[in-house]
Amino acid sequence: MKIAVVGATGMVGSVLLQVLAERKLPITELLLVASSRNKGKEIEWEGKKYVVKDLEEAIECQPDIAIFSAGGSISKEWAPKFAEIGTTVIDNSSAWRMDVDKKLIVPEINASDLTKEDKIIANPNCSTIQMVLALLPIHRNYGIDRLVISTYQSVSGTGVKAMEQMNNERDGVKAEMVYPYPIDMNCLPHGGDFEESGYTTEETKLVNETRKILGDNEIRITATVVRIPVFGGHSEAVNVATKKEFDINNIRKELAATEGITVQDNPDINLYPMPLYARGKDDVFVGRIRRDESNPNTLDMWIVADNLRKGAATNAVQIAAYLIDKNLV
């Protein structure tokens, strides 16, 4: 299987290479692809050195699968070109997520929707992925009526320059700022760009992508995205109102039985998910599961995951593995 990693020199690209090595996909040829300014660089993977190609060279190599982590504008321009030659593209950007003709995939939820005809497959937003996986058993068993979401997202979700800003602030260095305010020792209720509605683009993604993945446009959703001074790992406080009555102990059992979920929920010993301990792991961690006593058929939970792994690279590699396993490429 010939696989291309587009954006191989970037932050998500490097994690993609780690996950590809861990997951042992049947790769016969690996193409590492980046912008023309990085063409010719060498990257070592699994004990072998690879020379970085540009996009034109990668297309000439006709990969079976191309995993894109190079930004929306690159994906918009180049994903169709790869698809035209028969390559299946798995795209990590927001470019194709809400396209009515493209599928938005979290493998544990809806990989079975994929066919050989799907040549551009969208990977959801990092904060959406971890949340919908935790919502899956609740929606299937009880139906979700409304979600109130507050996310606490690490600076790595913004990118390398945001991590550099926080490091500079901690070191007392005045340098380029990605955020409009300092991020160290601070919280910014500002994810993405502000829209006319007063919501931000990151908040709108949570609303629209959740409905698309769960296949239910009737779910009422509101979200607030907060950027916090943590290097890696996104956390979410989610209030879930259901259509049917539930037993909170059954909710815990159903979550624990869900593929990709680890329940950490024992207040007696201070056991709950934290981004510090989720980093470097592929599971989504769920805890603080409790009934909301202020409203009927409603519960609260706390959801944490590594945004660069399950929130991006791992999910993309899982899609690739599914395509290979089901002979869809």
- Residues catalogued as catalytic: 126, 234
Question: How far does CA 250 lie from the centroid of its chain?
Answer: 27
CA distances to 166, 172, 218, 269 from 185, in Å: 9, 13, 38, 28
Separation between Cα atoms, residue 79 and residue 67, nearest integer Å: 10
Q: Which tokens sit at 240? A: 């879930």
Q: Which tokens sit at 2? A: 């010939």
Residue type, 35: S
Q: Which tokens sit at 196? A: 């006319």
Question: How far does CA 251 lie from the centroid of its chain?
Answer: 24
β-strands 48-51, 65-68: how paired?
unpaired
Contact between residue 65 and residue 31 where contact means Cβ atoms under 8 Å apart: no
Q: Which tokens sit at 10? A: 């970037």
